[in-house]
Amino acid sequence: MFLGKELKDCVQNMRDLLSQNNLTFLLGAGCSACAGLPLMSALTEMVLEHEALGPQSKKLLNEICNNFDGATHANIENYMSEIVDLHAIIERRTTMGAGKLEIDVGNGKYVAQDLKVALNEIKAAIVSAINDREVNVAVHQSFVKAIHGSLQAGKATRSIDYYVLNYDTLVEDALGLEQIPYSDGFAGTTTGWWEPAVFSFEKNVARVFKVHGSIDWCLLSDDTLPRRVRSGIATSSERKHILIYPSASKYQETQRDPFAQILQYMRARLSPDVNQEMILIICGYSFGDSHVNQEIKNALYKSSGRLTLLAFVNTDYPGDILKSWVEDPRIKEQIQIYANKCYIHGDDKKEFKNDLDWWKFEIITKLLGGEQ
């Protein structure tokens, strides 16, 4: 698959870097497609027509969708963020004692409760769209087996962090099936409660941080922190809502726990000590989350060269954000890009005529497993 000295050298360099002791992964929606889950565009279409949406919520969502006419790659996360913003406007008016406590969207008028209901119904539709599909976790199993097995052969056990932007549980499922001890911030087992102290347990080989929440997170009545409750389990206390947040969710959402705590862990992880180095590997992510992008950028600038970024992207060449980073003389030597038709590391730029596809999660997994 990857023949020729240049390509083989790139792949070997990748494997060497992923054999280092300190690894952090940032995994986006593209890493779930190989398991049979929908990409964001398909998920958006499914939610827009989902039976979990009541008539009013469906009307609101379609009006929001119309407001994005002409936008490129607008999706359900953008639409949810718009509703979050509108709800924040009403909250601000309410706090200040304003008289107009409704929002005009299209030809409809909506109060705060309408927006809350719509968000909850959209989240329920997302959970249904993910849970109701049969998934194949084999690629994820092979991936974690390579990371925690062949790539660390002959070395002491290392702890790996996975920062997951998806709502699904594929990474957790794969780690469990491969009997790799991990923590996800919850005490308990299938049903658990948020207890970040478990992240510090020495027995952890992996830690999983769900940056935007998860399909099995919820708030029970009077809770302020999430529970992990699998679908089909009845609870005596009402589940107030599902705890998932869109990638473009605004600043106020990132200041609430557990999301604020997760970002603090990310900042600490991407700030290696003076005598350490950290490798950050990004797969399946289109750099559409401004908060995450800012965290990565800040970490690169502050690391004094101790943070190395490997980005696998499905475009022929780096997009706007990555392009600005690889052209910045202060950090370009810290960044390696594996794009569809090129490899870039600082001033070393290799272009290839054929599509490489090494940005696909299943192809990365094969390469890490030793295939060429």
DSSP secondary structure of 285-350: --S--HHHHHHHHHHHHHTTT-EEEEEE-SSSS--HHHHHHHT-TTTGGGEEEE-SSEEEETTEEE
The highest-confidence range among 184-193, 228-237, 258-267, 334-343, by mean pLDDT, is 334-343
Q: How far apart are CA 358 and CA 372, in angstroms?
A: 11
What does residue 222 show for φ and ψ, rounded to 5 degrees? 75, 0
What is the average pLDDT across 77-90? 91
Residue 177 lies in a domain: yes
- Contact in structure between 229 and 239 (CB atoms under 8 Å): yes
User: End-to-end alpha-carbon separation of the chain, Å?
Assistant: 6
Question: Token digits for 44?
Answer: 């958006």
User: What's the whole-model pTM score?
Assistant: 0.90
* Shared-domain flag, residues 10 and 119: no
Q: Is 183 helix (H, G, I), strand (E, B) or coil?
A: strand
Residue 228 confidence class, pLDDT cut points 50, 70, 90: confident
Given a cut of 70, whether residue 329 has pLDDT beyond it is: yes
With b for 16 or more beta-carbon neighbours within 10 A and e for fewer, the 262-274 pattern comes to bbebbeebbebee
Residue 234 lies in a domain: no
* Shared-domain flag, residues 150 and 102: no
Q: Which residues are within 8 A (CB) of 194 and not within 5 positions of it... i.e. 6 or more apart?
A: 185, 186, 225, 226, 227, 257, 258
Residue 123 lies in a domain: yes
Question: Token digits for 252?
Answer: 């106020």
Least confident segment among 124-133, 135-144, 239-248: 239-248
Given a cut of 70, whether residue 251 has pLDDT beyond it is: no
What is the average pLDDT across 107-127? 93
Residue 227 lies in a domain: no
* Shared-domain flag, residues 32 and 44: no
Q: How far apart are CA 325 and CA 323, in angstroms?
A: 5
Question: Token digits for 64?
Answer: 């929001």
Residue 1 confidence class, pLDDT cut points 50, 70, 90: low
348: CATH: 3.40.50.1220
| Domain end (from 131, 156, 191) | 131
Q: How far apart are CA 170 and CA 163, in angstroms?
A: 13
Q: How far apart are CA 158 and CA 347, in angstroms?
A: 32
Give 335-348 pLDDT, tens digit per residue. Answer: 999 999 999 999 99
* Shared-domain flag, residues 29 and 83: no
> 10 Å Cβ neighbour count for 348?
10
* Shared-domain flag, residues 60 and 208: no
Residue 149 confidence class, pLDDT cut points 50, 70, 90: confident
- Largest pairwise CA distance in the chain: 70
Given a cut of 70, whether residue 372 has pLDDT beyond it is: no
| Domain end (from 112, 131, 150) | 131
Given a cut of 90, whether residue 99 has pLDDT beyond it is: yes
Q: For position 248, what pLDDT does the model report?
A: 47
* Shared-domain flag, residues 169 and 150: yes
**Number of domains making up the chain:** 2
What is the average pLDDT across 68-73? 87
Residue 250 confidence class, pLDDT cut points 50, 70, 90: very low
* Shared-domain flag, residues 20 and 81: no
Bridge-based pairing of strands 227-228 and 213-220 is: antiparallel
Least confident segment among 74-83, 249-258, 261-270, 290-299: 249-258
Least confident segment among 79-83, 231-235, 368-372: 231-235
Please tell me the total number of residues recorded for the chain in this structure: 372
* Shared-domain flag, residues 193 and 336: yes
Beta-bridge mates of residue 109: 104
| Domain end (from 131, 154, 181) | 131
Given a cut of 60, whether residue 247 has pLDDT beyond it is: no
Residue range of the domain that includes 173 = 5-36+136-214+246-368
Q: For position 21, what pLDDT does the model report?
A: 86
Residue 173 lies in a domain: yes
* Shared-domain flag, residues 262 and 145: yes
Instruction: Give whole-number Cα distances, 266 to 18, 41, 71, 73, 202, in Å.
Output: 19, 28, 31, 27, 18
Asked whether the bond before 55 is cis by omega within 30 degrees of 0, the reply is: no
Residue 238 lies in a domain: no
* Shared-domain flag, residues 108 and 56: yes
Residue 4 confidence class, pLDDT cut points 50, 70, 90: confident
* Shared-domain flag, residues 49 and 194: no
Give 266-279 pLDDT, tens digit per residue. Answer: 999 999 888 889 99
* Shared-domain flag, residues 51 and 185: no
Q: How far apart are CA 368 and CA 101, in angstroms?
A: 55
- Contact in structure between 212 and 232 (CB atoms under 8 Å): no
Higher pLDDT, 47 or 371: 47
Q: How far apart are CA 184 and CA 190, in angstroms?
A: 11
Residue 231 lies in a domain: no
